[in-house]
Amino acid sequence: MGTPVNIIVGSHVWIEDPEEAWMDGEVTEIKGRDATIVTTNGKTIVADISSIYPRDTEAPPAGVDDMTKLAYLHEPGVLHNLACRFALNEIYTYTGNILIAVNPFRRLPHLYDIHMMEQYKGAAFGELSPHLFAVADTCYRAMINEQGSQSILVSGESGAGKTETTKMLMRYLAFMGGRSAGSEGRTVEQQVLESNPVLEAFGNAKTVKNNNSSRFGKFVEIQFDKHGKISGAAVRTYLLERSRVCQVSDPERNYHCFYMLCAAPPEVIS
């Protein structure tokens, strides 16, 4: 719901639009519950006063890095702030201690190199620009200082970038946790990352929006010793979308593993 108390003639507001999602405009007239808004592109819209939201005219054009600083933390305000930052190639934004990531749909290697890891190592949360590594570093230090388990929840819709985010988190934790080699000379991080293609073969499928979409969820546990070095890892929970096995919607496909098995030579199948 909007904030009717704050809406008067002359107020700058956000109004929902079927094409643009949200448009900004100015209230020119109010009659009972109906408000007349003239948008910035010249449209005149009459809407119920409860469906419009106040717009902060003093918000910085480049947006804010922590959305708790916004005067109005409502849907159009949040989306506009994310859009302003995304236009400047800033894909990460905080809301308190929550990190919001907008998928750039392209590689940004400079954001995840060793130099960037070094910058966030030991930095206070919020001291530097919002970043995935800041969340991972805060979690790692809380685990060391409090001697207790920590969790990072990675959530989002299909194609949001959850799988890549999880890989980057593991890379940073391996960077902080020493990279102790296992029995075969491979690091724990390598072993965990190498297990991903196997899990994805059995849990990824083609969807309308994504040719390689994870249709499963997993709980990855990374174990550390008393010195803060990685000592092991385990996939504790693996949740599969079982309905896809017996029913596939056109033009989607079943799990990749079925097609791999069909194309594999007999000796591999057996």
User: Is 203 labelled as part of a ligand binding site?
Assistant: no
User: Is 163 labelled as part of a ligand binding site?
Assistant: yes
Q: Partners of 47 in the beta sheet?
A: 35
Burial of 251 (0-12, 13-18, 19+ CB in 10 A): exposed
Residue type, 213: S
Q: Which of 70, 25, 128 is nearest to 82 (CA)?
A: 70
Strand (E) or helix (H) holding 29: strand 21-31
User: Is 25 labelled as part of a ligand binding site?
Assistant: no
Cβ proximity of 242 and 252 under 8 Å = no
User: Is 185 labelled as part of a ligand binding site?
Assistant: no
Q: What is the 3-state secondary structure (H, E, C) of 189-248?
A: HHHHHHHHHHHHHHHEECCCCCCCEECEEEEEEEEECCCCCEEEEEEEEEEECCHHHHCC
User: Is 159 labelled as part of a ligand binding site?
Assistant: yes
Q: Which of 189, 188, 248, 169 is nearest to 213 (CA)?
A: 248
Helix and strand totals (H; E) in the chain:
8, 11
Question: Strands, DSSP E only, in 92-215?
Answer: 92-95, 98-101, 204-205, 213-214
User: Is 218 labelled as part of a ligand binding site?
Assistant: no
User: Is 146 labelled as part of a ligand binding site?
Assistant: no
Note the residue count of the chain: 270
- Hunting for tokens 């000592």 — which residue is that? 231
User: Is 10 labelled as part of a ligand binding site?
Assistant: no
Annotated binding-site residues for ATP read 156-163
Bind-site residues: 156-163
